[in-house]
A and B are shown apart, each in its own frame.
Chain A
């Protein structure tokens, strides 16, 4: 069965600090990878996605993620965070039959102004 691990449950950063959130998945075949964000009181929104091609994908709001197949990783990065990035971030993987997303446990990011 697929599984997704997110390394940190809580991250606290000051504004302008760089962000990297780790995500590892367990599946040996072709995978489709996603990062979703949930701002306080809002619904889950897609940040970015990887299907194939360039392993460095860019998403909304200055976020990017790098797919490293040999490490089964899909880490999320942002060079300079803002207070408005305070949210919970979920890594998700989809492999196999149908559009069956498996989510990681989530990382709560708090950015101090």
Chain B
């Protein structure tokens, strides 16, 4: 079992809906990440939080809004998404933000936009 827990596992939403994806880890990791993975493609980094502060935003559209309420939790708020945003959204965490730190991944949330 993964030590990074993501909820929900599946989400279907309309383009006008507002929803949130949640990610939780209890490994004491201080860096957390959101990735987007389209079908048959590798994961692509969206955001990095380090010590609860946003440190990297890979030019992600503002309809995706990350939030890190504390060191164990990471949210991704969704609003006015487009059909092309349908994908698997992966959360990951690492002990720190050093480049040598391996990342631990969750199972992902499979998002479908109608």
Contacts and interface: CB of A to CB of B under 8 A. Distances in A.
Interface of A: 32, 34, 36, 42-46, 49, 51, 90, 94-106
A101 B55 CA distance: 14
Contacts of B108: 43
Q: Is the interface of A mostly helix, strand, loop or mixed?
A: loop
Contacts, number: 61
B42 A103 contact: yes
Given A101-B45, A103-B43, A43 B101 contact: no
B50 A43 contact: no
A65 B112 CA distance: 37
Interface of B: 2, 4, 31, 33, 41-45, 48, 50, 55-56, 90, 92, 94, 96-108
A98 B55 contact: yes
A107 to B, nearest CB: 11
Max chain A C-beta neighbours (<10 A), residue from B31, B45, B92, B100: B100
Contacts of A43: 2, 4, 90, 105-108
25 contacts: A32-B99, A34-B102, A42-B107, A43-B4, A43-B90, A43-B105, A43-B106, A44-B90, A46-B102, A46-B103, A46-B104, A49-B100, A90-B42, A90-B43, A96-B99, A98-B56, A98-B97, A99-B94, A99-B98, A99-B101, A101-B43, A101-B103, A103-B42, A105-B41, A105-B42
Given A32-B100, A51-B100, A90-B42, A99 B31 contact: yes
Given A43-B107, A99-B33, A99-B96, 5 more contacts: A46-B102, A46-B104, A98-B99, A101-B45, A102-B45
